Amino acid sequence: MKQQLEAIRAAAKAAINEAQNEQVIEALRVQYLGKKGELTAILKQMGGLSPEERPIMGQLVNEAKQALETKIAEKKKAMAAKAAEEKLKAETIDVTLPGKASKPGHLHPLTGVTNDMIDIFRSMGFDVVDGPEVETDHYNFECLNVPADHPARDMQDTFYLAENLLLRTQTSAAQIRTMETRKPPIRVVCPGRVFRADEVDATHSPVFHQMEGLVVDKGITMCDLKGVLEQFAHEIYGPETKVKFRPSFFPFTEPSVEVDVTCSECGGKGCRVCKGSGWIEILGAGMVHPNVLRSCGIDPDVYSGFAFGIGLDRITTTRYKISDIRLLFENDKRFLEQF
């Protein structure tokens, strides 16, 4: 019986040492120490022993039982420690590795320039207004002193959607909508897309962008227009920029001017960009025509105003020295990522 006990103990010890996981250990515990286990079976055989042998054998079995219990507990502990260590190893993060930089997006150069211009005009007290891209003949032409048979309609090739419904050719339409809804003093800018049936080339696109400006109040003069536009040009291009006002014609202003700034590429010496002239045209402007004020119910004998329409694409291309307007609309990331 003693030999049998020794054999069981040795086998159990070896099996526990070999065990790879908790389930195997548990199965071994049941196999040796359980109610129907091998050690328990030996205890049950003790009835057949002599009274002298019985306590000795009992003690041996108990010793074996305790030894196995200790062994199992130790093995379980070791396995838990090993599992914890493996988990830590698997989850270890090397905080010294360089991070993966995520590329933040940024504004399209045209949007950036528009926002900068809005800031400049806001600082001079202008509000920002919005207008529809689909306009009626009434707002885009009629009220701007361009009646149906007026030759000035030839200046702007228009996309008509239906009779009297068109894609606005100029943000000037927003002037009328503003004067219809606001009373002087009025100081607004309206940035937005405009549309003309133009052939696409390096400086023309059927979709382009303008920012309209309108000021109406008592006693507004050409001096105010000059001051505002000079301030604007200096903020956008730098204080050394010179501004030139050339007489021009627009049906909705009288007098009318076109405004040039010294070429941002050559500083006025003359280069490829300014075609040797040293100047770049950036906007049209003038004193609001009395007919326009009248068509919006504003008395031209009491109020006067000035208006301007700035080409946003031109401001963007000259500011960033972009040689072709088409680059602004192609959305090639390799181009856009440079700004």
Angstrom distance (rounded) from CA 193 to CA 170: 8
> Is 253 among the residues that bind ligand DAH (CB under 6 A)?
yes
Q: Which is nearer to ligand DAH, 37 or 212 (CB)?
A: 212
3-state SS of the chain? CHHHHHHHHHHHHHHHHHCCCHHHHHHHHHHHHCCCCHHHHHHHHHHHCCCCHHHHHHHHHHHHHHHHHHHHHHHHHHHHHHHHHHHHHHHCCCCCCCCCCCCCCCCCHHHHHHHHHHHHHHHCCCEECCCCCEEEHHHHCHHHCCCCCCHHHHHCCCCEEECCEEECCCCCHHHHHHHHHCCCCEEEEEEEEEECCCCCCCCCCCEEEEEEEEEEECCCCHHHHHHHHHHHHHHHHCCCCCEEEEEEEECCEEEEEEEEEECCCCCCCCCCCCCCCCEEEEEEEEEECHHHHHHCCCCCCCCEEEEEEEEHHHHHHHHHCCCCCCHHHHCCHHHHCCC
Segment near ligand DAH (CB under 6 A); pick from 95-103, 127-135, 179-187, 303-311: 303-311
Segment near ligand DAH (CB under 6 A); pick from 11-19, 29-37, 128-136, 280-288: 280-288
Segment near ligand DAH (CB under 6 A); pick from 59-67, 146-154, 278-286, 320-328: 278-286
Segment near ligand DAH (CB under 6 A); pick from 14-22, 237-245, 262-270, 305-313: 305-313
Q: Which is nearer to ligand DAH, 9 or 289 (CB)?
A: 289
Segment near ligand DAH (CB under 6 A); pick from 2-10, 105-113, 279-287, 291-299: 279-287
Least distance in angstroms from the C-beta of 179 to ligand DAH? 12
> Is 208 among the residues that bind ligand DAH (CB under 6 A)?
no
Crossing angle between the packed helical segments 22-33 and 53-91, to the nearest 10 degrees: 170
Least distance in angstroms from the C-beta of 213 to ligand DAH? 7
> Is 309 among the residues that bind ligand DAH (CB under 6 A)?
yes
> Is 307 among the residues that bind ligand DAH (CB under 6 A)?
yes
The site for ligand DAH, by CB under 6 A, has a size of 11
Residue 311: which of 215, 181, 194 has the closest Cα?
194
Which residue of the chain is nearest ligand DAH when measured via CB?
A: 309
Q: Which is nearer to ligand DAH, 146 or 236 (CB)?
A: 146
> Is 285 among the residues that bind ligand DAH (CB under 6 A)?
yes
Least distance in angstroms from the C-beta of 285 to ligand DAH? 5
Interacting residue with ligand DAH among 114, 170, 316, 317 (CB under 6 A): 170
Q: Which is nearer to ligand DAH, 82 or 246 (CB)?
A: 246
> Is 304 among the residues that bind ligand DAH (CB under 6 A)?
no
**Angle, alpha carbons 137-143-145 (nearest 5°):** 105
Q: Which is nearer to ligand DAH, 268 or 309 (CB)?
A: 309
> Is 212 among the residues that bind ligand DAH (CB under 6 A)?
yes
Q: How many CB atoms lie within 10 A of CB 313?
A: 20
Residue 140: which of 115, 185, 171 has the closest Cα?
171
Interacting residue with ligand DAH among 286, 295, 303, 313 (CB under 6 A): 286
> Is 172 among the residues that bind ligand DAH (CB under 6 A)?
yes
> Is 250 among the residues that bind ligand DAH (CB under 6 A)?
yes
Q: Which residues of this chain interact with ligand DAH, rule CB under 6 A?
A: 170, 172, 212, 250, 253, 284-286, 307-309
